[in-house]
Structures are given as structure tokens and as C-alpha cells.
Structure 1
Amino acid sequence: MRRALSAATLVTALCLLSGGCTSVNDDAPKAGAGSADTTPVTITFWHAFTDDREVSAVNAVLAQFHAKYPYITVKSVKGQTDDKINQAIRGGTAPDVAASFNAANVGGWCSSGAFQDLTPDLTADHVDLSRIPKAVQAYTAFGGKRCTMPWLADTFGLYYNRKLFTAAGISAPPKTMTELAADAVKLTTYNTDGSIRTAGFMPWFGGYEMLTEHLVPSWGGKWLKPDGSSDTATDPAFAQALTWQKNLVDAMGADKLRKFTAGMAPEQSAQMAFENGTLAMMVDGEWRTAFIKGDKSTVDYGTAPMPVADNKPELYGSGFVGGNVMGIPRGSKHPDAAWKLVEFLTTDTTAVVTLADAVGNVPTTLPALHSPELQLSKDPKFAPFLEVFGNPLTSSAPASADGGAYLTNFGPFAQKWQDGKVPDLQAGLAAIDQQNDATLKLGQ
């Protein structure tokens, strides 16, 4: 499940990068593959899952690991945030293995040495990285160092309410952004006081998973140039995506959308707007299929790839992918055993398939994606996310030296834009590039 990057996490990441918050021990043991030592050992594994169903699934896969390596006992600790991980690294109390929902920190962890470079281990164990799609490889390494491995993926697509589609005379999900906007307006209904009763689509930034990074892939947008500098002003995708978004917000009524969004139940609630039938379409991750089932929602829905810009038909079927990452923090007391756990959880096909099926996330290796044992592939509502994940044009938010601040910086600007407080879009994007480049430079 995707989580937003907090300001505290960003500050901590930059502290780790600059070395100004604490020193790191260059003599700390490094991870190593191929160890024949089978002395019983207990390692600590921190992860961010908290839902009972998901935690049970993680524990089941850890039991598979213990069956393969009976001399390694894993102490699993749930609900651990990136802030806690960073604090433990600085304080010399890091776990042996840490997993995160937020790949935005990978650039900082790799460049600072906060997480150990796994390249020697991957080489020693002959791990074939071509089994991982390039978009996923992009957010799990930085600066020539692969300090994390992907541990399931979040893949985004379009959810749509079939009952509302039928009532509105719409026979199929939209494939272009023009069709999406037209369907959104057609599906939106209003109360007698003019407020929105049912929103045809959620175009409001901050409304559930409606984020710029989930929108610009429909125009083929790239956040960073090849040299690592910010690219929101020179890449036309950003201006085009924002213009489309603002036009739809205005068509549906900005004040009405603001009020509707403020009144929506939380995203993790069983009463969230799509599940209760008051939101006809939305962009969301594959995990929603499991939540809808777990919440016993009666919504009649379908899923599809996100629509794409009218002049970019070749992009249809692709989308945005992010996801969980895991690695070995600096200070791990048992790096050999820690590497065995990382390798098992992220590359063992049975382990990846088992966890993906249990928590409803996309598996991050191609063998797992195409495994006949993957039950998710047999679910027609989930299958589109697997197809998006495997599409070679699918993109991600690349790792950066600033810990993903280029995304964090864009959020307030997007809010000002939809509030009508950005008189010159191109000038505003240029200013964001300057802000991003300054933060990127600080992180180097």
C-alpha cells in the first residue's frame, strides 16, 4: 500500500545524506552471500504492514523461510515507519532487515550508505535482475548502488462502477482522457442544493489516490531529466496533464468538488466513496480489489488501465508503478542471515506468489507474474493490473538524491493550481524546477 512521504521523513533522509545528524560506522559489517555458517541466529525484520490479514500473510511467508533455513529465526516487527527506521540507523539500533512502503527514500539510503549496497550479494548468488521490470529496477537503486530490492508492487489503474455506467448509457470504460472527462461529467449528479451527490470521477488532487504522479503517465511525463535535474517545465506532459485536470475540476464545480472531497470517508474505510457508490470512477491501486472484498462491499465494479492522452494511444495499457522495498540497514548485526531473508522474500517465486495472493499486491518478478500458481491472474478485476505492470511503457517515480522531495515539492503547487492561484502555469512549473533542483543539489 502506498504511503505519502512525510516532512519528517524527508528531513531525516537529508540528514542521513549530509552526515550532519550523526556519523555512520564505516567498519560496520557488510552483507555477504554464500556463507556456510549454520549457527542458530535470530534476526530482526521490520515492516510497515499493520492490517491483521496482511501481517498474517507476512508471517506465513516467514514460516516458509524458516523451513528452508531452520537455523535462522526471524523476529518480525510490524508497523515500522521510515522515520523509525532512520532513527534506528542513526542511533545504532537498526534492525537486520527493513522494509518500507515508500520507495522515495531509496536515493537517500543508497547514496548515504544508510542501507548497504546489495550488489556483491546479488553477484555472488547470481541473481538475474532481468527478471525484474526496468521500471521497478529504477526505484530500487540509485547512483550505481542497489541498496534495496522490490517486495511486491503497487500498480495503478481505473476503477469504474458498472451499475452507474449502465444507468448513464456508457458501455465501456474510457480509453482517452477526453473520454474520461466526458464520462465524468455525464456521471456526476447533484442534490437539490447544487452539491454533488455522485461524483463521476475524482479529479481533485488529494482525493484518495488522485496525485500528480498517478496522472502524468497518461501523457508520458518524466519527472527527471537524464542528468537527474527536474523536468516539469520542459516536459509538456505536466502542463497538459494539469490543464486537463483543472478543466475537469471547473466543469464539475471546484467548490462543489472541494466540499464533496472533504466529506468523503477515509480511504481505508469500508465507507469510502467508491465502495459506497458515490464515486463512479477513480484512479487507485490494485490493493483496492482486496479491500472491496474484505469490506464486503456490494459495489458492482470493473477495472481497466488508466486512459491516456488522445495523441498518445501507444501508452494505453501502461501506467504508474511503485511499491514496497526492503534492504539491510547500516548496523545490521547479522548481515549474512539478513541477506538470505532479503533474497528469499524478493526473488523466490513461491514466496513472492504466496504473499502477492494473500495481500492482493502485484508480484515484482516476471517469473512470479507469469506463474500458473498466481491466483490473482485468474481474477478478471485484478488481471488489468498485472498487464499494466508488465507493460514496457509503464513508468515509476525514479529514485533521487533528495529522497523524493521533487514529488513532495509538487504537492502544494498542484493544490494552488486547482485553487486557481497560479496565474501562469509555465512560470509556475519553472519555479518548481528551480525548487526541485535546489533540493536535489542539497541531497547530493
Structure 2
Amino acid sequence: MHLSPRPAALATAAASLVLAAGCTASGGQGTGPKADAPQTITVWHGWSADAEAKAFENAVAGFRKAHPNITVKVVKDQTDDRITNAIRGGNPPDVVASFTTDSVGQWCQSGAWQDLAPYIKKSGVDLAQFPKAVQDYTQFKGRRCAMPLLADTYGLYYNKALMKGEQPPKTMSELTALAKKLTVRDPDGTIKVAGFMPSVQYYEHVPQHIAPQFGIRWLTPEGKGGFSGDPNVAAYLKWNKELIDWYGYANVKKFLRSMGQEFEASNPFQKGKVAMAVDGEWRTMFLKREAPKVDYGTAPAPVADDRAAQYGGGFIAGTVMGVPRGSQHAQAAWEFVRFLTTDTAALVGLANELGNVPSTIPALASPDLRLPPQFATFLQIFKHPASTTTPPTPNGNDYVVKFQQFVQDQWEPGRVRDLDASLRDLDNRIDKSLQLNGG
């Protein structure tokens, strides 16, 4: 979500963010002085690099001009754990921003982040300015405790020189055929250039970003584990394993061990070692900064062959903002949240400086956006009706983590003998975890 290294999907352990039911912090909607009274609010966000922090301060400048009575104290580099501990301890800031949309279910259900519905209604904020997927990841079971601030949108990057005139694939069968055609090997099978690396251990090729292109539903309508009853899960796994086996699992592991760091110049796509890769919109900024000579294009990620009508969509997540329980200036805090998440100039400024997608439909069309031509793909994916996100739960992304662990540790190495039984076991473990957390 930002230019500093981002945590991998498996790193967002749900257990680290579970809030105790008995949070001691008090305060709720309408508490504290009125928004037009002189006061100071404290804002915590997770951006850490100097350029990122400056971009946030530039956006805040617009709020300060519009609300001269409110002094804003900004604190950078704040993690979700620090936010959680401050709420538990009854001494939270007035506004919090997090990169972890997977935790919205926990925050909403526990009340750790206040219900914003009364503020939204009173302010007349039109939620239709946000795409449906964005509306989905900022609420849980009808309780909207977060507002979106910028977005991550995932699409396909392709190296034009390595593509040799080929057009970007639109279906998974096209992707597979082109991956094989573009792959270059040594005589012993070692992968010199991967047409496309299917392993979930390849950076952003985690199930959360690619499996939605097969239409998987993640959970049942009742909020239970839904992997065993979803034929699209089996379709995703079959595609993954067939391409893994074509490369050879040992060759895949060898290639993975040779990769550079995702957020350094040694990233294999930037070094011409990968022809096509699924990645977030921020990669355009890294390429501009670290590999300006790479001639590349972008396109929506391919979809399963039976989902051609959904081509153009992709996975969406993003930064969220909220007012924590215990805020001593809740009304002024809401005015700050409302401004940063709906003001077009503020969002466009952040998008230009951070290289993320502005999170309202009006901001997408702003003539003031100054982003690389390849960025336009992600603006289109963001507002595409087929774009999706992972559903929130009371224990965060635990079900996503468990599925990725299954794919990484059992499926890709070929250790699964009975897929149906394995997926039923996975669903049972997911359900037990959800029950322990009030799901």
C-alpha cells in the first residue's frame, strides 16, 4: 500500500490483532467537543519513509486550511499492534489509519473502531462514490467502522521485450500457454527466464490475489469455510499445480531461492527474469525509480476461461481510516476522516506522491493525476464491477492464511492424496477458528 516494504499475506497473523471483548477505552459517537471548537487531535498512520510521511502531511495541509480551529498532531510509523494496545489501554489517538483491511471485521465487531454510520448520515456522505468492493472491505455485518484511504489494485505486468510481440493473455489457458512459450531454461531444466511463476511463494502471486480470477467465494453465505464446496477452488488449484509440474517443483524451488527482494532493484521482473507477473499498482513507482529502462505494459489479470465476461476486474484492498473507541475528540476526528477520504484534491495528491489508486470514483477522473501511462490500467480495474475483495471476518484473514499454507506446504509439493478430504479438513479448521472468535 506504500513505498516501504509491505508485509506478505502470511505475515498478517489474525491472532496478533484480536481485540479483547472487554476493551477498557470509553467514548463513542458524539463525545468530546463539537467539531467547530478549538482543539487538538492526534492522528496515527503507518507510513514510515520520509517521502511517505511528507505526502501525508501535504494532504493534511488541506484539512488544516479548511478547519483552522483544529490542530492536527500526526504520528507516523504506527503499527496495528500499537493501535490495538492503545485502544485496550484506554489512551488511543483520535484517528487511526491502517494498511490491514483484513482486520476490519475484528475492529467493527469488537467496537474497537467506532460505528461511523451516524457520522456518515449526518454529514451526507454518499457511499456510492466508492466501488462496491471498497464498500465491502470497510464494514462488517452492516457495521461500517472504517472509511477507505487509497487502494491497492492488482493486475498483470508484462515485459515487452520478453513478450516478443505477444499480446497480454486474457484467460488462464492463454496465460499458461504463453508462460510455457516465453520460459527459457538451461539444459538441466534450471529456469533462466520464467514466463510466469505460478507458485504462491512468488511475491504477490498469493491465492488472495490470483484465486479471485477463478471466481472463488472464500466463505459460504453463512460465513463458514467454503473451500470444499466451491468448484472454482479446485479449478484454481488444478491450474496452479499443472504449471508447477510443467516447470518441475525442484526447478520452481530453485528459482524461488534465487529471487531478489520484492521491494529492491533485484526483483526478478525488474531484472528481466520474469516475463509476466501479477503485482500491485505501486510497482509502477518502483520501476520508474529502480528499473527505468524496462519497457513494460500492464493489463488486467487473466480470468478463468469460463469467466471471460469478468475480464477487466481484479483483487482490491487498501488503507482504511477510523475513529477508535476512546477518542476524546470524536466529532473533530470524524471531520478529519471525512476530509481525507472524500476530498478529491487530497486523494489525488496522495495518489501522485505514493503511487496508489485514489479511492473515490471522482478522484479517478481527476485531470490532476500525474502517474505513468501504465497506471491507467489500475484505475480501470479499481472501478470495474467484477473487481472483488476478501470478505471480513471476526478473526481477520485467518482463512486466507490457512488456505495459502495449504497450497504452499501441501498442494504445490504434491503431498495431497485426496483433495476433497483435504479441503473439508481445511474448512473444519477455519470454522473452529471462527467460532473461537465469535464468528
TM-score (norm 1): 0.93
Following superposition of structure 1 onto structure 2, how do residues 359-398 of structure 1 map, counting pairs within 5 Å? 359-376=354-371, 379-398=372-391
> 1:58-104 deviations in whole A, cap 9, x for unaligned?
11111111111122222222221112211221122322111111101
**Contact 2:35–2:331 at 8 Å: present in 1 too?**
no
Structure 1 residue aligned with 2:401: 408
| Cα distance in 2 between the residues matched to 1:220 and 1:370 | 28
Structure 1 residue aligned with 2:17: 13
Structure 1 residue aligned with 2:24: 24
Structure 2 residue aligned with 1:35: 34
Instruction: State the SS of the aligned residue for 2:177.
Output: helix
Match for residue 272 of structure 2 among 270, 273, 277: 277
| Cα distance in 1 between the residues matched to 2:312 and 2:37 | 47
| Cα distance in 2 between the residues matched to 1:51 and 1:163 | 33
Amino acid at match of 1:13: L
**Contact 1:188–1:198 at 8 Å: present in 2 too?**
yes
Q: CA deviation at 1:301?
A: 0.7
Unaligned runs of 5+ in 2: none
Match for residue 84 of structure 1 among 72, 77, 82: 82
Structure 1 residue aligned with 2:334: 339
Match for residue 429 of structure 1 among 412, 418, 423: 423
Instruction: State the SS of the aligned residue for 2:140.
Output: coil
Structure 2 residue aligned with 1:418: 412
**Contact 1:3–1:102 at 8 Å: present in 2 too?**
no
> 1:266-318 deviations in whole A, cap 9, x for unaligned?
11101111111111111100110011112243211110001111111101111
Match for residue 108 of structure 2 among 107, 110, 133: 110
Unaligned runs of 5+ in 1: none
| Cα distance in 2 between the residues matched to 1:37 and 1:161 | 53
Q: CA deviation at 1:202?
A: 1.8
| Cα distance in 1 between the residues matched to 2:306 and 2:261 | 35
Structure 1 residue aligned with 2:238: 243
Instruction: State the SS of the aligned residue for 2:71.
Output: strand
**Contact 2:198–2:240 at 8 Å: present in 1 too?**
yes
Amino acid at match of 2:431: D
Q: CA deviation at 1:53?
A: 2.5
| Cα distance in 1 between the residues matched to 2:210 and 2:428 | 22
**Contact 2:33–2:329 at 8 Å: present in 1 too?**
no
Match for residue 214 of structure 1 among 204, 209, 217: 209
**Contact 1:153–1:361 at 8 Å: present in 2 too?**
yes
Match for residue 298 of structure 2 among 268, 290, 303: 303
| Cα distance in 2 between the residues matched to 1:294 and 1:34 | 45
> 1:129-170 deviations in whole A, cap 9, x for unaligned?
11111111111101221101111110000001000111xxx4
> 1:349-402 deviations in whole A, cap 9, x for unaligned?
1111111122111111111112233333xx430111111111111110111122
Q: CA deviation at 1:36?
A: 5.0
| Cα distance in 2 between the residues matched to 1:197 and 1:387 | 33
Instruction: State the SS of the aligned residue for 1:277.
Output: coil
Instruction: State the SS of the aligned residue for 2:373.
Output: coil
**Contact 2:32–2:328 at 8 Å: present in 1 too?**
no
Amino acid at match of 1:430: R
Q: CA deviation at 1:237?
A: 1.0
Bigger mean CA deviation after superposition, 353-362 or 281-290: 353-362
Q: What fraction of aligned residue pairs are identical, expressed as a percent?
A: 48
Following superposition of structure 1 onto structure 2, how do residues 200-211 of structure 1 map, counting pairs within 5 Å? 200-211=195-206
Bigger mean CA deviation after superposition, 45-54 or 133-142: 45-54
Structure 2 CA distance for partners of 1:435 and 1:149, relative to 1, 3 Å: same
Following superposition of structure 1 onto structure 2, how do residues 100-179 of structure 1 map, counting pairs within 5 Å? 100-166=98-164, 170-179=165-174
Cα RMSD, aligned residues only: 1.8
Structure 1 residue aligned with 2:346: 351
> 1:96-124 deviations in whole A, cap 9, x for unaligned?
11111110100000000111111110011
| Cα distance in 1 between the residues matched to 2:185 and 2:405 | 29
Structure 2 residue aligned with 1:321: 316
| Cα distance in 2 between the residues matched to 1:219 and 1:210 | 14
Amino acid at match of 2:418: D
| Cα distance in 2 between the residues matched to 1:328 and 1:5 | 25
Instruction: State the SS of the aligned residue for 1:303.
Output: strand
| Cα distance in 1 between the residues matched to 2:405 and 2:12 | 16
**Contact 2:145–2:322 at 8 Å: present in 1 too?**
yes
Instruction: State the SS of the aligned residue for 1:375.
Output: coil
| Cα distance in 2 between the residues matched to 1:274 and 1:212 | 19
Amino acid at match of 1:78: K
TM-score (norm 2): 0.94
